Amino acid sequence: MDSNHVIDPAFAGMSFAQVCALALQQQAQIKHISAVNAKMAHEMAVLKRLKFAATSERFSVEQKSLLEEAIDEDLAALGREISKLRQPAKAPGEKRTPKRQTLPANLPRREIHHEPESSACATPGCGCQMRRIGEDVSEKLDYEPGRFSVERHVRGKWACAKCQTLVQAPVPACVIDKGIATAGLMAHVVVAKYIDHQPLYRQEGILGRAGFAVPRSTQAEWIGAIGVELAPLVQAMREDLLSRRVLHADETPVAMLKPAGKSDGKTHRAYLWSYCTTSWDDINAVVFDFAESRAGHNARRFLGITEDGTGGWRGSLICDDYAGYKQIMNAGVTEAGCLAHARRKFHELWANHSSTLAEQALKLFGALYDIEREAKDLAHDERLQIRQHKSRPAADLLYAWLLANRQKVPDGTATAKAIDYSLKRWAALTRFIGDGNLAADNNRIENLIRPIALGRKNWLFAGSLRAGQRAAVIMSLLHTARLNGHEPYAYLKDVLERLPTQPASALAELLPYRWKPSV
């Protein structure tokens, strides 16, 4: 055989046709990865142009700061996603040392030592005692509310004089490889932004008063990377939600900056869609989904319902009467109306105009809610029995009252509109009476998205679609943690510490409704 033509061992035993098929498969994979990389590279270029272009000067100082935070987060997230697709090979002998700011000497330090489990040489046939010949020290910036400290990770180097074996404990895994921050500091920044509604430019000043001003661009890089790493957890939560028979759904507006080249400093209305389990479910979970519009196809996409109406989630959806939900109702999802929305129409009449007719309606709605308070903590069968025995007659009385008074009220008046709202939706509004798993209203999900209103005032807007989706991922985990009685900081800190080494098969253990703190 010609020495210039050596057969690759990987192809040994393969026919020519098999080799060709393998080559075509690899070419297809390379083409796909190249396409994804090109798409992400283009997106990064657009974000950089938006950040550094002269048009950014049209924003106020505060708006520009918030926009740059979102862009920095997006760039970090894109970089993390690209690195997962393509790990660049190092040149022989190349050692990449991250450039970082030296941590202040005045900050308190605590040393964490990492040593091999045994000082005996593990080389087969050796077994002699090794001696310590040195150590590597890396420092990470830690934060406890109001106080910085430095973790000194000291990794001793042990060498065997006989066989020249060198042993050293591995570098502890971290969400951000070779990053300066501990999981505690990263969790603090994330919780401060998405729970306490503190933009990064404010946090920079707050951290500076505690001893070390972490640049907002650095904080943004952390959040961008963390959003990518937490996404699989939220996807697992979504799958758990879609295995439920009953869900709540609602949506709330969030301003989003228009795409580069079209914005001129303007925003348009995007939406944060929300889905959660009922209060009687065996799990407490809420998942947010950020979308550029309020169009009904966003709900259909989240629930996995195809355009032709086949496949996807099937169950009862408790929601308001927004037309966007009608698409999924036509695909076979059962609509459960919100009694609180119907009641609210009459409450507005009573509060604004002291309407005696509205006051009568409120008393009839109140009778239904009195029964719900009585049945709230009962088992499914008992709750269903009480509803059939008590709620059905109360609902029939309310329906008769609505019909009788509608004939007396002129068309087009506020009272007529309030009555028509209930009459046209009566089947959906009273569906809870025949199903013990259904709630009478959608107040549960409305209460869960209420804190978003405060966040809107502090964020001003979402800098991009990615920024909104990242916020949805992080808030899904943090708000679900709160829903399950966990302190968000403690939960997220523990998850960020465990996530790098958590097996994919055990990822569900980190979900807020299954999470148990590390011992």
What is the reported pLDDT for 58?
46
Domain segments of the chain as ranges: 104-179, 339-434
d(CA 375, CA 458): 39
What is the reported pLDDT for 460?
52
Widest CA span in the chain:
103
What is the reported pLDDT for 181?
92
What is the reported pLDDT for 86?
61
Going along 316-364, which residue ranges are E strands? Answer: 316-318, 334-336
What is the reported pLDDT for 254?
86
What is the reported pLDDT for 298?
93
Taking 50 as the pLDDT cut, the residues of the chain under it are 1-3, 54-59
298 touches 272 (CB < 8 A): no
Which pair of structure tokens corresponds to residue 197?
A: 């509604």
DSSP states of 369-431 as a string?
HHHHHHHTTS-HHHHHHHIIIIIHHHHHHHHHHHHHHHTTSPTTSHHHHHHHHHHHTHHHHTG
